Amino acid sequence: MKTILVPLSRPEQAAILSTFILPVARGERARVILLHIRRPLFNAAQEEASVDGREEEDDDWLAEAAQRFQNVQVDVEVARREAQSVAGGIRDAVAEFKPDLLALSWRRPGPNERVDEDVTLHDLLMDVPCDLVVWRGNQAAPPPHRVLIPSAGGPNIILGFRFAQDFHQAYGSRIIVMQVAPQHASEEEVRAIQLALEERTRQALAGLALPPEAIDCQVVRADSPEEGILQMATPIHADVVLIGASREGVLHRIRFGEIPEKVAARAQIPVLVIKRPLPRRMTLFRRLWDGIAAITPNLTETEKVEVYRESRRSARTTRDFITMIALSTIIATLGLILNAPAVIIGAMLIAPLMGAIIAMGLGVVQGDARLLRLGIRTTFWGVLTTLGVSFIMESLIPYNDLTPEMIARSEPNLLDLGVALAAGAAGAYALTRKHVSSSLPGVAIAVALIPPLSTTGMALALRSWETALGAGLLFLTNLVGIVAMSSWIFLSMGFQPQYTRRERIRLFSQGWRAILVMILLISIPLAVVTVQQLKQQHIETAMASALREEVVALPHVVLRDWSYQAVDEGYALELEVEAEEPLSHADVAALQEHLADRLGMPVEITLKIIPVIRLQPAYPEGEITGG
């Protein structure tokens, strides 16, 4: 650690931060930059009258702050900058000085006091490219003779132990490393947690100069990690809490309930929140997430309750649900047999399956096992009903051919996954915003759940296993895509599990892992099909171009239609042409050779020649000319 940047805006900040930063700077032999940011005055007269007075007043306490560091032989520099906001000024200074550590103070406001501007530094704290320590408190901090470190592992807490070492060398501080056990944990469980904590602490302290007698490991029983830490964060037990910040990822924040932030806000003693820089990929991910959250409305608790109730109603396996699923399947099956897109769209509109699937997404986000089971059970019965009805209808109706509408639903690709993800987002959004709920029928049409299921049942009845597999994959793609994206939208709108209920947190984590695994597994066959379709499209385009150019070269020949199929080493083409004159074998052989050269593969040609006789009514009967 070579450089520490310490932004200061008030004299009391200098006194507070020097208590903690001075021993760190001395222990790490780092240079300290005291940064003073002031806002420019835009009134020219006011600027001229007050700038000298402001600078003189600032010089006094800044010089006093710098002297504290010089007294203990710490290299110190005072930097002054102007900026429209503290956040912007600090960001620019970080880019200019490239510090290894940024130290901020965040004073808790007292009664009738305005909140410090530092609380608006969310963007800065999110992606600051150096180590960060933030002091939280509401009074001047005494030297930290007792340092409380809640241990959860990770890079943040390792940096915390380095600070604790510097405090010990400067103040003889005693380090209390603690972990919270469940309130009803047995003595054996507490003992196991104690041993694991001691081992983890030994590993974290490897390479540091903290003597073992300065370390005290304690396990505290509490209903939640937050409450356990707050039990110890009192003047009776400690002088300062040294806690690692969350990694700023949304899933991490939900899993741990933003414990550092809540402890910093409620603790009775000062808190030092420590944060190491995020990997760049995590920073970009968080920016993307914040962008999504910024355009997504926040729901009130009343609105969340209403959405939850609506989801439970949609996820119930009722007689009405089964009836509507059966009727929509009948309509979809008839539409597929008749090859009638309008009829198939009608089946999509009345199918109630999407509500149950979206309820599964909400169940995952809230860690609600009951809602998740309800959605899974209802979806299962809906799938079973659709497969059964379509299978029986195809077996009874004497139409035993695959129609183009059926074939179209048996060849899913990655674009279908994109449709499912977008439809899941739209469905969840429409469910939470009543004024756009009229869009739900359009979402049902876009994602098309019943037609691929009906195609699967019909293909099974026809024993067309490849078609059944493809249509089943399309339905599974839609199912996983809707659950995944609806979960994401619910999460961005503020739905989350109660972090005090560990079973819900566990279900939340397991649910998200399962969704990601399912998307990955589904993407593999979809990617294979997509590549095959792209290759086929490329071949068809090349064939069409070659046929147009080569057939035109034949005299008095017009290409009407063509088809192809793959053979062992190439392709067999069947051409239908109109010819005003007979084609010789040599002409056909030359055409086949030219096509093979153009396509770069063996080609077999079968020609269907339609002779053309041009009638000219202007001539009397019997005087018809050919050619």
Q: Residue 592's pLDDT is what?
A: 82
Q: Residue 254's pLDDT is what?
A: 42
Highest mean pLDDT of the ranges 334-338, 396-400, 574-578 = 334-338
Cα distance between residue 501 and residue 218, in whole Å: 23
Which amino acid appears at position 32 of this protein?
A: V
Which amino acid appears at position 326 of this protein?
A: A
Highest mean pLDDT of the ranges 96-105, 117-126, 519-528, 574-583 = 519-528
Report the share of the chain in percent with pLDDT over 90: 14
Place of tokens 């019965």: 381
C-alpha angle with apex 155: 102 to 187, nearest 5 degrees?
130
H/E stretch holding 70 = helix 44-70
Summarize pLDDT for 241-257 with one digit per residue, the tens. Answer: 888 875 544 444 443 44
Cα distance between residue 529 and residue 186, in whole Å: 55
H/E stretch holding 625 = none
Q: How many helices (H) and strands (E) does the chain have?
A: 22, 13
Is pLDDT above 90 for 570?
no
Report the interhelical angle of 353-366 vs 502-552 (nearest 10°): 130
Band (117; pLDDT cuts 50, 70, 90): very low
Among the ranges given (13-17, 63-67, 510-514), the one the predictor scored with the smallest mean pLDDT? 13-17
**Taking residues 572-577, what's their average pLDDT?**
82
Band (547; pLDDT cuts 50, 70, 90): confident
C-alpha angle with apex 218: 216 to 219, nearest 5 degrees?
165
By the 10 Å C-beta count (0-12 exposed, 13-18 middle, 19+ buried), 262 is classed as middle
Q: Which has the closest alpha carbon to 278: 154, 149, 98, 166?
A: 154
Cα distance between residue 179 and residue 190, in whole Å: 10
Q: Please give the torsion angle defined by the CA atoms of residues 464, 465, 471 and 476, in that order, rounded to the nearest 10 degrees.
A: 160
Report the share of the chain in percent with pLDDT over 70: 80
Contact 79, 36 (CB under 8 A): yes
Among the ranges given (264-268, 310-314, 497-501), the one the predictor scored with the smallest mean pLDDT? 497-501
Higher pLDDT, 90 or 467: 467
Summarize pLDDT for 412-456 with one digit per residue, the tens. Answer: 889 988 888 888 888 888 877 776 655 556 666 656 788 999 999
> In the Cβ-directed half-sphere of 621, how many Cα atoms lie within 13 Å?
0
Is pLDDT above 70 for 49?
no
| Ramachandran angles phi, psi of 181, nearest 5° | -105, 155
Band (339; pLDDT cuts 50, 70, 90): confident
Is pLDDT above 90 for 469?
yes
Among the ranges given (44-53, 153-162, 235-244), the one the predictor scored with the smallest mean pLDDT? 44-53
Among the ranges given (277-286, 371-380, 506-515, 600-609), the one the predictor scored with the smallest mean pLDDT? 277-286
**Taking residues 369-378, what's their average pLDDT?**
92
> In the Cβ-directed half-sphere of 71, how many Cα atoms lie within 13 Å?
9
Q: Residue 155's pLDDT is what?
A: 65
**Taking residues 209-217, what's their average pLDDT?**
87
Cα distance between residue 609 and residue 579, in whole Å: 6
Which 8-state DSSP code applies to residue 214?
G
Cα distance between residue 383 and residue 381, in whole Å: 5
Cα distance between residue 271 and residue 238, in whole Å: 11
Q: Residue 612's pLDDT is what?
A: 78
Q: Which has the closest alpha carbon to 485: 439, 445, 518?
A: 518
Is pLDDT above 80 for 1?
no
Q: Residue 107's pLDDT is what?
A: 59
Higher pLDDT, 504 or 321: 321
Is pLDDT above 70 for 362?
yes
- Give the β-pairing of 271-275 and 131-137: antiparallel
Average pLDDT, the chain: 80
Place of tokens 């339905």: 475
Is pLDDT above 90 for 327?
yes
**Taking residues 549-578, what's their average pLDDT?**
80
- What residues contact 463, with CB distance under 8 A and at least 6 apart? none
Is pLDDT above 90 for 380?
yes
Exposure string of 137-167, with b = 16+ CB inside 10 Å and e = fewer, is beeebeebebbbbbbbeeebbbbbbbbbbbb
Q: Residue 510's pLDDT is what?
A: 86
**Taking residues 600-626, what's their average pLDDT?**
70
Q: Catalogue all structural domains in the chain, each as residue range(s) with its CATH number.
A: 1-132 (3.40.50.620), 142-294 (3.40.50.620), 296-526 (1.20.1080), 553-611 (no CATH)
Q: Residue 251's pLDDT is what?
A: 46
Band (379; pLDDT cuts 50, 70, 90): very high
**Taking residues 449-471, what's their average pLDDT?**
91
Summarize pLDDT for 140-197 with one digit per residue, the tens. Answer: 667 888 999 987 555 677 788 888 888 888 888 899 999 888 888 889 988 998 998 8
